């Protein structure tokens, strides 16, 4: 399973929507129920699944799913 497929699966689980297909330019406005509370659930789930830790600055900088994917790839490469 690729990182994006795994990420998609987490999105489906957190937002309780099996039809969700993430795209790099997707933002919180495009997903029903993506509010500040579910965002925290998403981040903590991602951190547990990929065994990574985002800094506060990285999280505040992210503007869309593309930024999130880039940060995950960068962290996984650094940990490898």
Partner 1 sequence: MTFNSLSYFLFLPVVYLVFYFTADCWRWLVLLTASYGFYATFKAPYLLAILLMVTGISYTCGLCIAAQQDEAIRKRWLWIGIFVCVAILVLLKYLPFLESHTNRIFGLNNAISVTIIIIGVSYFTFQAISYMADIYLEIEEPEHHFGRFALYMAFFPKLLQGPIERAGDLLPQLKQPYQFNYDAMRSGMLLFTWGLFKKVVVADRLALYADQVYNHVHDYTGLSLIIGTYAYALQIYFDFSAYTDMARGTGRMFGINLTENFNSPYLATSIADFWRRWHISFSRWILDYIFKPLQLGWRNWGQAGTALALIITFLVSGIWHGATWGFVVWGLLHGIYLATSTYYRPYQKLLHKWLRIDKSKWLKWWQVFVTFNLVCVAFIFFRAKTLNDAIYVVLHMFIGIYSYIQKMLVGIVGLEIANVRGLLRQLLIDQPQSEFITLIFFLLVLCVTSQLKKRIYIYDTPIWYRWSAYYLLFIFISFFGTFNSITKFVYLQF
Contacts to partner 1 by CB under 8 A:
35-37, 40, 43-44, 56-57, 59-61, 63
Nearest residue (CB) to partner 1, 23 versus 44: 44
Nearest residue (CB) to partner 1, 21 versus 78: 78
Report the nearest approach of partner 1 to the CB of residue 26 (Å).
18
Residue 71 neighbours by CB under 8 Å, 6+ apart: 54, 58, 62
Nearest residue (CB) to partner 1, 24 versus 33: 33
d(CA 5, CA 76): 15
With tokens 């065994």, the residue in question is: 51
Give the dihedral sign, CA 29/44/19/70. Answer: positive
Report the nearest approach of partner 1 to the CB of residue 54 (Å).
8
């Amino acid at each position: 399973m690729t990182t994006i497929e795994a990420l998609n699966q987490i999105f489906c689980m957190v937002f309780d929507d099996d039809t969700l297909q993430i795209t790099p330019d997707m933002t919180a406005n495009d997903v029903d129920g993506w509010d500040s509370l579910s965002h925290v659930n998403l981040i903590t789930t991602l951190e547990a699944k990929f065994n990574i830790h985002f800094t506060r600055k990285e999280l505040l900088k992210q503007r869309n799913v593309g930024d999130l994917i880039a940060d995950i790839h960068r962290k996984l490469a650094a940990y490898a």
